[in-house]
Amino acid sequence: MTNTLKAVAVVTKTLGHCGRLRILSMLRPGPLSVCQIASVLGAPPSTVSGHLLELRHAGLVSEERRGKWVYSRLADAEPVTAVLDPVLASIEDDPQIRKDAVAAAGLRGTSPAELCACANVTEWETT
């Protein structure tokens, strides 16, 4: 198997999860922290971190540190955008994706510290 074939297989496997597609869609307008993404998904930060790790391994997202917070963003490499652009365009009218976009836009101005401070695993487990 060629490296390109393996890379495409990894990317397509990674895209085969609704939660990861939702994350990628949320990152399209710009970077978000784990706590911001977790707040939109209604999932624990550990779950979001696991999804982001898979997305990073597939080369679909990258990270940047801002002080003590790490923000994820879509990778901007040409092979990645060639795959992601049509996938994300095909789901942009999905009601869940639209709802996520509105929620993520509202959280872009919210401090991750504020979101992480009020995060409670028991709250997430009941939602």
Looking up tokens 């401090």, which residue turns up? 111
* Rg over CA atoms, the chain: 15
The pTM is what? 0.87
User: Does the residue 127 lie in any domain?
Assistant: no
Looking up tokens 């074939």, which residue turns up? 5
User: Nearest-5° angle of CA 46, CA 24, CA 82?
Assistant: 140
Neighbours of 58 (CB within 10 A): 21
User: Does the residue 75 lie in any domain?
Assistant: yes
Per-residue confidence band for 2, with pLDDT thresholds at 50, 70 and 90: low
Domain count, the chain: 1
User: Does the residue 63 lie in any domain?
Assistant: yes
pLDDT in tens, 79-88: 788 888 999 9
pLDDT at 121 over 50: no
User: Does the residue 7 lie in any domain?
Assistant: yes
Name 116's Cβ contacts closer than 8 Å, sequence gap at least 6.
35, 45
Pairing status of strand 61-66 against strand 32-33: unpaired
pLDDT in tens, 48-66: 999 999 999 999 999 999 8
List the CATH number of the domain containing 33: 1.10.10.10
Q: Which residue segment(s) compose the domain that 55 sits in?
A: 3-117
User: Does the residue 122 lie in any domain?
Assistant: no
Looking at residue 5, its pLDDT comes to: 83
User: Does the residue 124 lie in any domain?
Assistant: no
Looking at residue 109, its pLDDT comes to: 82
User: Does the residue 62 lie in any domain?
Assistant: yes
User: Does the residue 81 lie in any domain?
Assistant: yes
Measured in whole angstroms, how far is the alpha carbon of residue 61 from the centre of its chain?
A: 8
